[in-house]
Amino acid sequence: MENNAPIFQRPSRWKISGLFILIALACLPFADLTINTFDPMAELDRLFSGLLSPSLYPIESPIDALLQTVAFAILGVSSGSVIGFSLAQIFHFRLVRTICALIRAVHELFWALIFLQIFGLHPLTGLLAIGLPYTATFAKVYAEILEEGDRRAFDTIRHSSSFTSAFFYARLPDLWQHFIAYTSYRLECGLRSSTILGFIGLPTLGYYLSSAFLEGQYSEVWALLILFYLLIASIKYWVRPKLLPVYLLISPFIIANDSHISFDNVHRFFTQDIIPLPIRNGQGISELWLWFYNLFINEALPGIVNSLVLTQLALILTGFITLVWFPLISKLFFARFARSIGHFFLVVMRSTPEYILAFILLTLWGPSMLPAIIALALHNGAIIAHLMGHYSDALPLRLDATKGLNRYAYEVVPRIYGQFMAFLFYRWEIILRESAILGILGITTLGFYIDSAIQDIRLDRAMVLIIITALLNVCIDTISRHIRSRLRLSMGPEIISK
Amino acid sequence: MTAFESIVRNPLNRLMFLSTPITFIIYQLQLIKNGSNRMQSKLRRFIQSSFLALLVTSFSSTVLSAPKTLMFSAIPDQDQTQLIKRFAIVADYLSTKLGIPVKYIPVKSYSAAITAFRNNQIQLAWFGGLSGVRARLLVPGSEAIAQGLEDTEFRSYFIAHHSTGLQASKDFPKNISDKTFTFGSKGSTSGRLMPEFFIRENLQKPPNDVFKRVGFSGNHSRTIALVQTGAYQVGATNYKVWEKEMKAGKIDSSKVSVIWKTPAYPDYQWTIRGDVDQFWGEGFKTRVQQALLEIKDPALLKSFPRSGFIKASNNDYQPILETARKIGLID
Amino acid sequence: MFHLQSANASYNNKDVLVDITLQIPAGQKLALIGHSGSGKSTLLKLLYQQRPQDISLVPQDYGLVSSLSVFHNVYMGQLAYQPLWYNLVNLIKPLKKPLQDVEQILDNIKLSDKLLEPVAQLSGGQQQRTAVARAMMQGSDILLADEPVSSLDEHQSKLVMSLLCNDFDTVVLAMHDIDLALTYCDRIIGLDHGRITIDAPTTSLNRNDLLDIYGE
């Protein structure tokens, strides 16, 4: 009895959690966590006094920006879902899976930067930037939903009828709700994406938001943010199946502008712009290797290290924030009124794209990893806390279970910990993808070097760096999947479709 | 230009054009369903006629503008919220002078301006020194046709927060090393290229090795704002933007001041694509150049801000190209 | 101790309990018997709501946290009596004093070899005994237990029943096993379709009569 420590078996979930906390601690010395603004409180004060006097007046065409935001989202997401649905049917081919994984691994902002080079200001840039990565995600998730669904009815009638009609009768009806739920969730994501694409030049809300931020016009910032929140919060009122065809019909007219696509450009992009310089100059393999080596050592490597450091720290902070926040909306801890405040808070936090959060915090605190880590953790923490809160509501607690923190520590957290880790590892790769794009804001992750290469119109370098980013993402995704299956953490279609 | 194209062009037209018939039909259906008394039919006639009027205006405004539109843009080097306001008046001026529709296309970054120029989505652009050189390398045949009076002798200012204790000096301030430093946009001449050039020349090291931290603020006004708040201790900015903001009272000289002025170099210029004569007829390029040189209205000049425009040629920017090559910003 | 007067309960518009009038004095050992669905669990719930502070409860589904160890699950009976910081420390690093207390209780029900194993790895019977141990750890005067021995073999059932009846002053058990009820309890209440059909001291009841009406 004296020495019981050795026989106390910590579950492997604990060990993995501990390992990741240790990794994060090991990352700390490499992270730049300083606040650089001279007087961050004064800036914060200015930010919040802007909230008291929101004003759309100085913005040149807010309504058009709003329409553009919606139109790009609707067209991008719906084309993504249609193509993604067809791809889901052939998702068992390794080639399809790999290509989708690679496309998904590149954030829509990077896609936009690429397409901006090919199509310039043509609306196709925004459409593809949303549509392409969304297609790949839809293909994967739809395929997962199909896989998790019950196949028995389908297998029974499949030989007596055509594949298609068997599919429509025996599979689709059961899974329809999941498809709809996931697709409408992605539409919300699409609105966020199309907003932040404004930061690099699409005429959406983000276009004005970034300008207003840069100029410190906080009254306009708040007006635009409120407009954005209203747009997200009112989704269920204006996204109706019956109205969708109308939207689809009108949207092309809204996003259309008078730029045109030059096929010479498209051709030139693929045959010259992205061909590494030494090849274009007709130099040999050794020159090419030197070119690549320099690029890798001077840009890719520091970018990878910083992206990973940022990701690991943000991941741990996300987990921590989740565990603190989920009780806010859980029936097990708070009464109705307190929960509704919690809900409001979490909705605001998770609707705000991390890119915008990071942008705000960077403005306030100056450039370091700190604002990026906090932005990623706040956004992702709110998302997982929302899911965990709902999950905890369904827990069967015994009648005489304790209350308050005892209940939290003994009854609830141990029960939800597995699910919590499943969500967290699911977001891991997403956090990495996001930490890469935060580089565009000036934090030296991979995105910083990609953006620099594009600003220098060195698309060959940008392309190599983007491919490296994609591969890094695929690696993390694989590790995450491996851990999830080792710990037997599964999500199930209801969860996936959230 | 077809009527259809024009509808597509103007967002307000688009909305009006689309919503008019739809609302009209809905309204008609509503009336049929509800039946109508005399009051309603009067109202109906009124609404019908206003709809028709709207439809006609939105259509006719589109048919009237027939010739191909000249598109131009400018690098977003300062005050981005006011870009459209600033350049819409320039577009109006050019349109009157040239007798064709001229439209300003806002862009978010220097590289987007270059790409749009390369892709023939804009034919005319107000570039900085470096972005102009890059654009002309990418679009053979394009030409620098005009520059600001000040652009032959452009300068960057190094500015510092007062807490650093740095004082204005004639010589390069070597004691800026180990401070935090911000450039403007990554692709800027006065905010990046030339400051970096002078830093390398005087300290024999790339900026990353000189400073504790190097950032890119995005544009010149932001550089000033960031140094003023102390987010960065030192920064390099465009001298015209500094003077303009100083005049507008946006700079708190108890917090930030100029510590060094760079030697002069050529900077901003108007660049036009080589193939414009094919579209708008022989001599078009010269007419555009003439129109630019004739800008005398202070309200227009304030947009840039310049005191006037003079002729320019590609050769004027050879030094910029060489500097960019030396630093490794152009392969 | 407990008092119900014409109590009713319904669930989804179906009456589960009808017109229950009942007095339970302190010190009584009472068995509720009846087919599943006869309203035993609901009656236990009504009784629990009368004085939740003084009751140790063994729910039908045990109410265990399967990812925690047996030790932690049993210790949960004590949560209300210890300061919060003490509970939280003990969650991360089991403390000596509670370890000894819990082990003692587990010794009694022959489960001490599983002290630090996660509940998820236990058999049904072991889990049931863990739930019983938690109730004993709580140590209130009154025990309400819903089928506390349903997954145990005869030998273990007897052990647990005698422990429970010794440990707690007042005991109310929902049971299937008529023999155990007759052996360990001093009063039996029979329920059928939500009504009390039998309410008598054990001594006045005959095994075969009960078996006819309520036996499996």
A338-362 pLDDT tens trace: 999 999 999 999 888 888 899 888 8
C162 vs C35, higher pLDDT: C162
Q: Which residue of B has its CA nearest to A198?
A: B108
Q: Which residue of C has its CA nearest to A419?
A: C67
- Highest average pLDDT, of A6-10, A60-64, C131-135, comes from C131-135
Domain limits, chain B: 3-61, 70-152+267-327, 155-261
Hey, do B70-152+267-327 and B155-261 end up sharing a CATH topology, with the first three levels equal?
A: yes
For A228-285, write each residue's pLDDT tens digit. Answer: 999 998 988 998 888 889 999 999 999 888 777 778 888 988 998 899 999 998 888 9
d(C-alpha A445, C-alpha B152), whole Å: 38
b vs e for C188-200, b when ≥16 Cβ sit within 10 Å of the residue's Cβ?
A: bbbbbebebebee
How much is the mean pLDDT over chain A? 87
Contact A226, A345 (CB under 8 A): no
Average pLDDT over residues A453-481: 93
Q: Please say if the pLDDT value at position A314 is more than 90.
A: yes
Give residue A478's pLDDT.
92
Which residues is C172 bridged to in the sheet? C30, C144
Neighbours of A63 (CB within 10 A): 13
Tell if the CB–CB gap between B105 and A216 is shorter than 8 Å: no
Give residue A51's pLDDT.
85
Longest dimension (CA), chain C: 55
A203 contact residues in B (CB cutoff 8 A): 106
Contact B128, B189 (CB under 8 A): yes
For A148-194, write each residue's pLDDT tens digit. Answer: 777 777 777 777 777 777 777 777 777 888 888 899 889 999 999 99
Using DSSP, how many helices (H) and how many strands (E) does chain A show?
25, 0
Neighbours of C54 (CB within 10 A): 11
Q: Which of A479, A415, A450 is nearest to A107 (CA)?
A: A450
Min Cα separation A423/chain C (Å): 18
A476 vs A167, higher pLDDT: A476
For C58-113, write each residue's pLDDT tens digit. Answer: 998 888 888 888 999 999 888 888 888 898 898 888 899 999 999 999 999 899 89
Optimal mutation site among C112, C116, C140, interface A, most CBs of chain A within 10 A: C116
* Chain C partners (3+ C-beta pairs within 8 A): A
B11 contact residues in A (CB cutoff 8 A): 61, 64, 67, 254
Whole-angstrom CA distances from A389 to A226, A327, A386, A394, A416 are 25, 6, 5, 9, 10
* Chain A partners (3+ C-beta pairs within 8 A): B, C
pLDDT band for position A307 (cuts 50, 70, 90): very high
Min Cα separation A15/chain C (Å): 13
Structure tokens at A220: 């306009």
Contact B159, B256 (CB under 8 A): yes
* Chain B partners (3+ C-beta pairs within 8 A): A
- Partner A, chain B 276-295, Cβ-Cβ below 8 Å: none
Sheet of strand C142-146, all strands in order from the earlier edge strand to the far edge:
C55-58, C142-146, C170-175, C29-33, C187-192, C195-201
pLDDT band for position A84 (cuts 50, 70, 90): very high
What phi and psi, each to the nearest 5 degrees, are found at residue C190? -100, 135
- Highest average pLDDT, of A9-18, C31-40, C207-216, comes from C31-40
Tell if the CB–CB gap between B219 and A214 is shorter than 8 Å: yes
Contact C79, A406 (CB under 8 A): yes
Tell if the CB–CB gap between A257 and B9 is shorter than 8 Å: yes
Contact C78, C140 (CB under 8 A): no
d(C-alpha B188, C-alpha B132), whole Å: 10
Tell if the CB–CB gap between B219 and A116 is shorter than 8 Å: no
Q: For residue C96, give every residue at least 6 positions away whose Cβ sits within 8 Å of its Cβ, in sequence order, or none.
A: none
- Partner A, chain B 76-95, Cβ-Cβ below 8 Å: 79-81, 83-85
Give residue A157's pLDDT.
72
Q: Please say if the pLDDT value at position C51 is more than 90.
A: no
Regarding chains A and B, contact by 3 or more CB pairs under 8 A is answered as: yes
Give residue A402's pLDDT.
83
**Contact B5/A at CB under 8 A:** yes
3-state secondary structure of A262: coil
Contact A112, B115 (CB under 8 A): no
Residues of C with CB under 8 A from a CB of A: 45, 48, 52, 55-57, 59, 61, 63, 65-69, 72, 76, 79-80, 84, 87-88, 91, 94, 99-100, 103, 115-118
3-state secondary structure of B306: coil
3-state secondary structure of A446: helix
Q: Which residue of C has its CA nearest to A397?
A: C63
What is the fold, at CATH topology level, of the domain defined by B70-152+267-327? Answer: D-Maltodextrin-Binding Protein; domain 2 (3.40.190)
The H-assigned helical ranges of B37-173 are: 38-64, 83-98, 110-118, 129-138
Optimal mutation site among A9, A392, A398, interface C, most CBs of chain C within 10 A: A398
What phi and psi, each to the nearest 5 degrees, are found at residue A185? -60, -40
Tell if the CB–CB gap between A214 and B218 is shorter than 8 Å: yes
Domains and CATH numbers, chain C: 2-214 (3.40.50.300)
Min Cα separation A9/chain C (Å): 7
Give residue B40's pLDDT.
53
Q: Which residue of B has its CA nearest to A112?
A: B112
Regarding chains A and C, contact by 3 or more CB pairs under 8 A is answered as: yes
Q: Which residue of B has its CA nearest to A200?
A: B108
Average pLDDT over residues A47-60: 80
Instruction: State which residues of chain B have pLDDT below 50.
Output: 1-8, 12, 16, 28-36, 38-39, 54-66
Q: Which CATH architecture has domain B155-261?
A: 3-Layer(aba) Sandwich (3.40)
Tell if the CB–CB gap between A36 and B9 is shorter than 8 Å: no
Min Cα separation C191/chain A (Å): 22
Give residue B287's pLDDT.
94
Min Cα separation A477/chain B (Å): 31
Q: For residue A423, give every residue at least 6 positions away whose Cβ sits within 8 Å of its Cβ, in sequence order, or none.
A: A322, A384, A387, A388
Measured between CB atoms, which of B111, B180, B226 is closest to A454? B111
Min Cα separation A456/chain B (Å): 7
Tell if the CB–CB gap between A217 and B118 is shorter than 8 Å: no
Tell if the CB–CB gap between B213 and A451 is shorter than 8 Å: no
Tell if the CB–CB gap between C94 and A414 is shorter than 8 Å: no
**Contact A3/C at CB under 8 A:** no
For A87-140, write each residue's pLDDT tens digit. Answer: 999 999 999 999 999 999 999 999 999 998 888 888 999 999 999 999 999 999
Give residue C209's pLDDT.
76
Query: Which amino acid is located at C158 in the chain?
Result: K
Min Cα separation A48/chain B (Å): 17
Give residue A498's pLDDT.
42
pLDDT band for position A57 (cuts 50, 70, 90): confident
Structure tokens at A5: 């420590």
Domains and CATH numbers, chain A: 29-58+280-491 (1.10.3720.10), 59-258 (1.10.3720.10)
Average pLDDT over residues A55-82: 89
